[in-house]
Homo-oligomer: A and B are copies of this chain.
Amino acid sequence: MKFERSETGFILSHKDQIVLQHSHSSPILFVGTGNATYDMYRGNFDIKDYVNERIALRCFTIKGDGQAVRIEFHYEGELQITLCAEETPEGRLKIGFHDAKESLNRVWIRLDASKDEKIYGCGEQLTYFNLRGHNFPLWTSEPGVGRNKASYITWQADVKDRAGGDYYNTNYPQPTFVSSDRYFVHLQTTAYADFDFRHSDFHELQCWAIPDYLLFDCEQSFPALVHNIYGLFGTQPEMPDWVHDGVILGIQGGTETTLEKLHKAKAAGIKVAGAWCQDWQGIKITSFGKRLQWDWQWNPDLYPELDSKIHALKREGIRFLGYINPYVLEDFPLYQEAASKGYLATRQDGSKYVVDFGEFYCGVVDFTNPAACEWYKGVIKTNMIDFGLDGWMADFGEYLPTDCTLANGKSAEIEHNDWPRRWAKINHEAIEEAGKTDDILFFMRAGYTGIQRYCHTLWAGDQCVNWNIDDGMPSVINGALSSGLLGNGIHHSDIGGYTTLHGMKRDRELFMRWAEMAAFTPMMRTHEGNRPADNHQFDTDTETLCHLARMTRIFTHLKPYIKAAVKENALTGMPVQRPLFMHYEGDALSYEIMYEYLFGRDLLVAPVYEQGARQRKLYLPPDQWIHIWSGEHYQGGWVEVEAPIGKPAVFYRASSADTVLFAKIQDAAEDLL
């Protein structure tokens, strides 16, 4: 850390990178007051802010004490806030926000930026990979349907359900970003934030509370940078071994249907690792489609004999996975128990508070109450783990309303973003306490700072069953790469997408292309979508069954390679799916490429994400690459390859230690023929 006075201000830098550059004419800190309104409708938020004051803090006094530099900012002769800059024991620059005047509830801080810099991260971002040129409100919510105001799907979703969303809406925001200049910035806060990357010479971070601190560090390489970040947010264990043994099939409809579909899949040569039955606890039908009975226990009416079949399946090598989320269905047994014990969030006067989830209402289990957490962990342990589930979707986490009252006395406005982390922690600890961390898998869509150490597998949320850039298959790639840079090394998505509304129906081609992509991610899982009957499914026809069989065989063939990448993530925080610049830092174009990724160190994957396309134009960073289907060698640069359905554009490095394995991908795919 280096602090220097300038004519009217100061320059704070760290490892030769300027962080803050303050002067009278370009102040770096603004404080003020605002009144925000949060209008939530089924997880979609209409958030408005009325900024009452925004004051540039120009005057400052320095109080250094050797280790730390205290910068006291004054305005009208009164101390407004103190920035305290120091190096942490790990060698990061930490800038604390202290002594803020009590009335202040808005902070804007400007960080030095370079004109050509690119920015990544901010959680799981779906529309943009490089975030420069846009601002990103950071608030966990439904990500929206369509996510682009110029799309007709979005317009319909907005008008009918207030649910269209926009480019920045995500289940998993995080006030942390990575720069192409090889530094990262993290703002420690759970308040609403908005990171603005539209300016040429500064990045402006806005926070609707006084943040705790800002962390900055830079490294000589991107692998070192992601390792640094990984150390910050927590390490991830390896995935259970069985996940690598095939696809997890999303099936609904009861024991008989599940067994039939599994039989059909295996007969077609599909490698099956698990059956994921989200309706294991029963269903309800709403206008949206098939919804679940949110009372987290086995439903023997829909799943007769599951208590014994679950073990029989496991003996056959097929794990059974279920579903849970942090809400309990009004008037059902778990709700009643929680309500009677005082484990639910309430209105300010202590009276009942339920949340509208779309034609049904639920109580919010209050995770700020340790006793409620223990109780919910007990539900997971007893009803799910002891019952025999080997995994589940831990859905939601984004719906904490800002006007409910919580046990810890904190504002729900401040707790809202932290809810996904609390929810992940409960799942993580329930599994850990059951001693099953190595064998049970849960996956989440919601996230925020700190999710990394508790949730080891993200899934990309509820994409549309289409090819849309903002909310269809391609958006998943941005989600994997952005979240991967922040310590979330394991990512996957619903094969075929989920949201089936406003005339959208999943067709065969989309399902097949999505399966091709999923074979080159750490985990394969299908989903029927919210309106299964409208969608092409894995077993709709023989061609699809056969296609999925081929893709699962590629996936299992790559098991040693994928396991090694997953292990590398566990050890170093290197994500399994990586942007090209991770290993080609000197190549300018590698910072711009979207819809391609490195899968581990040695595979380059360019999914076909356009309907009807049978070729794929893609960029190869400078290296020796071999196309897995033709065996042709490439030197890097823009190329176009044939990519008929079943043969996604994938390349391996000629210098890889795994060339023998890669050369046999084609054989593995054809194994069953």
Contact = CB atoms under 8 A, between A and B. Distances in A.
A146 to B, nearest CB: 12
Contacts of A54: 32, 51-55
B56 A53 contact: yes
A56 B34 CA distance: 12
Interface in A41-59: 51-56, 59
Interface string A138-166: 00000000000110100100110000000
A398 B158 CA distance: 31
Nearest to A58: B76
Nearest to A152: B155
A183 to B, nearest CB: 25
A332 interface: no
A32 B30 CA distance: 13
A158 B155 CA distance: 11
Nearest to A32: B54
A75 interface: yes
Interface string A51-87: 1111110010000000000000001100000000000
Contacts of A51: 51, 54
Contact of A158 (B56, B150, B158): B150
Contacts of A52: 54, 56
Contacts of A76: 59, 75-76
A38 to B, nearest CB: 16
Contacts of A152: 155
Nearest to A155: B155
Given A52-B56, A54-B54, 5 more contacts: A52-B54, A59-B76, A75-B76, A150-B158, A152-B155
12 contacts: A30-B53, A51-B51, A52-B54, A53-B55, A53-B56, A55-B55, A59-B76, A149-B158, A150-B158, A150-B159, A152-B155, A155-B155
Highest count of chain B CB atoms <10 Å: which of A30, A55, A59:
A55
A51 B76 CA distance: 20
A30 B155 CA distance: 37
A463 to B, nearest CB: 22
Contacts of A158: 149-150
A552 B55 CA distance: 62
Query: Which 10 pairs show the lowest CB-CB distances between chains A and B?
Result: A54-B54, A155-B155, A53-B56, A150-B159, A76-B76, A53-B54, A55-B55, A51-B54, A53-B55, A75-B76
Question: Binding site of A, secondary structure by majority: helix, strand, loop or mixed?
Answer: strand
Contacts of A56: 52-53
A166 to B, nearest CB: 12
Interface in A182-216: none
A483 to B, nearest CB: 29
A149 B150 CA distance: 11
A75 B56 CA distance: 12
A150 B55 CA distance: 36
Contacts of A149: 158
Contacts of A32: 54
A55 B54 CA distance: 6
A154 to B, nearest CB: 9
A108 to B, nearest CB: 10
A59 B32 CA distance: 17
Contacts of A155: 152, 155
A51 B32 CA distance: 12
Contacts of A55: 53-55
A51 B52 CA distance: 12
A110 to B, nearest CB: 11
A51 B106 CA distance: 14
Nearest to A59: B76
Interface string A559-601: 0000000000000000000000000000000000000000000
Highest count of chain B CB atoms <10 Å: which of A51, A52, A54:
A54
A141 B51 CA distance: 27
A88 to B, nearest CB: 32
A318 to B, nearest CB: 47
Interface in A374-413: none
A63 B168 CA distance: 51
Nearest to A149: B158
Interface in A167-193: none
A54 B56 CA distance: 9
Highest count of chain B CB atoms <10 Å: which of A56, A59, A150, A155:
A155
A168 to B, nearest CB: 16
Contacts of A150: 158-159
A152 B155 CA distance: 8
A437 to B, nearest CB: 48
A536 to B, nearest CB: 29
Interface string A99-116: 000000000000000000
Interface in A1-41: 30, 32
A126 B587 CA distance: 55
A247 to B, nearest CB: 38
Contacts of A159: 150
Nearest to A54: B54
A412 to B, nearest CB: 24
A52 B202 CA distance: 13
A518 to B, nearest CB: 32
Nearest to A51: B54
Nearest to A204: B50
Interface string A115-149: 00000000000000000000000000000000001
A156 to B, nearest CB: 9
A56 to B, nearest CB: 5
A534 to B, nearest CB: 23
A56 B52 CA distance: 8
A150 B155 CA distance: 8
Nearest to A35: B199
A503 to B, nearest CB: 14
Contacts of A75: 76
Nearest to A53: B56
Interface string A349-393: 000000000000000000000000000000000000000000000
